[in-house]
Structures are given as C-alpha cells and as structure tokens.
Amino acid sequence: MRLMNWLNQNQGFVMAVLTFVYVVATIIIAVLSIKTTGLAQKNLDTALELEKNRLRPYVIFNLSSSIRKKSTYASIKNYGLTAAYNIKVSIDPALAHHYDGQSPLTHRDILFLPPSERVTDLIDSSPAFHQRYPQPLFEGTVQYEDLRGTKYKEPFRIDLTFLKKRIYRSDTSLVDELKQLNSTLESINRSLRREESDFDESETSLNSLDPKPSIEGEPSGT
C-alpha cells in the first residue's frame, strides 16, 4: 500500500524516469542499428571490391632460363579474367636483346593482352646472357589499365643467380659425360682391334698347317 501511495503521489516523477529509460533504450537501439548497418555496408563494399579484383587483369613480367635449350626468355602473361591495355614494363638494368638493342617487351608498349595470354621473347643464349649480366638481378614495374581505364602497377624483383649456377653445373656434367663416352668408345675400339689382330694370327697359323693339295692326275714326282 505504501508503494502504491508513493507512486500515486509521485506519478509525474515516475513517468519522467520511465520516459528517460525509454529514450536511453531507443538511443542504444539506434546506435546498435547504425553500427549493424555500417558493418553490413562494409561487408558489401568488401564483397564488391573482392569481385572487382577477381575480374580485373593481372599482368606479370618474368625472366627464365631453360637448361635444356640453353636460352633465356622474357615473358609477360595476363593471369586475370579480363583483358589488359597499354602495358608498359620498366626494368633496371635495361634488358639487352641478342640482336635488337633492347627486348621489345620492355622497350615497347603492349596495347592489348587478353586473359591467360602470354607473350614471350628470346633474349639470348644463357651463357651469353650470364656473361652480359654477371649479377642477374632485375627490378622494375609493370603498369597497365583495364577496360574502364583503371590503372594498375605491379612491382617485381627477379634474381636469376640460382639459374646461372644450375646451367653451369649442367654444362660441367655434360662435358664429363662426353669425356666418359669418348673414353668408353676408345676402349671398345682398342678391344676390337686386339681381337681382330688375334683372329688374323690364328688364321695365319691354320693356313701354315694345311698341306698344299695335289691336282688329280698330276705326277707326284719327276
């Protein structure tokens, strides 16, 4: 009864407190809703950005040496799902070509490169390449655009020192194998000659043991 009487006597104060609590709860709910909406928008923006990146061109420049062919190549490939335009490669030191001054992949722009397409250029034989570049370390960037004109820039750093060691090791092994093959052939040749000489001597000995056949009807004496 006392509580009811107190509430009746302080009805205005109680209503003010309840209104304040309601307002505070409404503000908290509004703030949480804003944060939830912002988080949802952020997730949506992230998904759109991921989809945009998935559908963009992605151009990579590379240098490689073939041990089997003893040649060094430069290549540009579009790993993206859309075409790349106005591709320009900057590289230091300049990539010298075996007959045309500089490689056309780094000296000239590529206006169009479809998805999954690769352009390859033979730079030089690997021994000549590594003689020209004792420290085969190259740095640079690949700049290109998509269909909408959005610009991209991919830095690269290529070190071919490990390929140089593999190529020289392969050359040494090949020389050793050729020497061993030549030695084996010489040994076989000597063995064949020795067997041929022994066969000739055996044939000569057999011929010396055979009596000279007499012709039928010919007198055996004079």
Task: Return the structure tokens found at 101.
Answer: 């001054």
Q: Mean pLDDT over all residues of the chain?
A: 80
Whole-prediction pTM: 0.57
Same domain, 87 and 150: yes
Residue 154 resides in a domain: yes
The pLDDT assigned to 111 comes to: 95
Same domain, 44 and 110: no
The pLDDT assigned to 84 comes to: 96
The pLDDT assigned to 200 comes to: 59
List the domain range (segments joined by +) for residue 78: 73-167
Q: Is the dihedral of CA 22, 28, 31, 35 positive or negative?
A: negative
Cβ-count burial of 121 within 10 angstroms (0-12 exposed, 13-18 middle, 19+ buried)? middle
- CA–CA dist 200, 195 (Å, integer): 9
More confident residue, 217 or 23: 23
Residue 93 resides in a domain: yes
- CA–CA dist 152, 58 (Å, integer): 9
The pLDDT assigned to 21 comes to: 85
Tally of CA atoms within 13 A in the half-sphere of 179 that contains its CB: 6
- Domain count across the chain: 2
The pLDDT assigned to 222 comes to: 42
Residue 103 resides in a domain: yes
Same domain, 43 and 128: no
Same domain, 127 and 160: yes
Question: pLDDT-derived band of residue 43, with 50, 70 and 90 as boundaries?
Answer: confident
Residue 212 resides in a domain: no
Proportion of the chain above pLDDT 70, given as a percent: 75
Residue 98 resides in a domain: yes
Residue 151 resides in a domain: yes
Question: pLDDT-derived band of residue 61, with 50, 70 and 90 as boundaries?
Answer: very high
More confident residue, 181 or 218: 181
Mean pLDDT, range 22-39, rounded to an integer: 86
Proportion of the chain above pLDDT 90, given as a percent: 30
Residue 94 resides in a domain: yes
Same domain, 93 and 153: yes
Q: Last residue of some domain: 167, 184, 210?
A: 167
pLDDT tens for each residue of 119-172: 999 998 888 888 889 889 999 999 999 999 999 999 999 998 877 666 555 444
Same domain, 45 and 104: no
Same domain, 82 and 163: yes
pLDDT tens for each residue of 184-221: 777 777 777 776 666 555 655 555 555 555 545 555 44
Decide: helix, strand or coil at residue 69: coil
Contact 80, 51 (CB under 8 A): no
